[in-house]
Amino acid sequence: IAVWLAAQLHLWFAAFVLAVPIFVLVIEFIGVYTGNDRYDEMAYEFIRVSMTAYSVTAITGGVLLVSLIVFYPDLMKYLSGIFAPTMLLYALLFFVETGALYLYYYGWHSMRRGSLKRVHLGVGLVLNGAGTSLMIIANAWVTFMMTPSGVGPSGIFDGNVWHAVNNHLWSPMNLHRFIANIAYG
């Protein structure tokens, strides 16, 4: 129950944290295009909500990881043996997303005008790219458990990391979750 609860809460908050910065960046682009400051102010109010949601997402993700390690140590050893490179990339992208979110939010007013506005929009693109990439990586882990690829007839994994990532459900799940996260957010 602890694993399910942590996973469900993490999924809900992660969907929100992925969707809101996408909306915010679109609204900010509209504000730049139209020259109307109301869009910029509205985008800033929306991104403020993401700050708390991001923290809750990180906490529930940590609880999920600890729960999986404690309650399913053999599964985690198996998956980390296969997906170690993607897990390292995930950790790196988590720090990129965190830095981009804080720079995007706390730099909003100081980068509101002139050429710094383009820098701010670039930070927003990095934030959204990192968040989407995190979702895509996590989808590989989940979909491998549903449709394992690279596993021989004896049940032993004999493929490489790309075989595991590029399983039958990975691409459809990426599309589904991207659209669903935006609809949820």
Mind listing the pLDDT tens digit of every residue in the chain (185 residues)?
999 999 999 999 999 999 999 999 999 999 999 999 999 999 999 999 889 999 999 999 999 999 999 999 999 999 999 999 999 999 999 999 999 999 999 999 999 989 999 999 999 999 999 999 999 999 999 999 999 999 988 888 999 999 999 999 999 999 999 999 888 76
List, in sequence order, every residue forming a beta bridge with 142; answer none if it has no partner. Answer: none
- Nearest CA among 25, 31, 36 for reference residue 105: 25
Q: Could you tell me the end-to-end alpha-carbon distance of the chain, in angstroms, rounded to an integer?
A: 25
Going by C-beta distance under 8 Å and a sequence separation of 6 or more, which residues neighbour residue 102?
Answer: none
Q: What is the pLDDT of residue 58?
A: 95
Which tokens in the block code for residue 58?
């990180």
How much is the pTM? Answer: 0.92
**Tokens 């600890």 belong to residue:** 66
Q: What is the pLDDT of residue 122?
A: 97
The helix/strand/coil state of 110 is coil
Question: How many other CB atoms are found less than 10 A from the CB of residue 131?
Answer: 25
What is the C-alpha to C-alpha distance for residues 64 and 49, in angstroms, rounded to an integer? Answer: 23
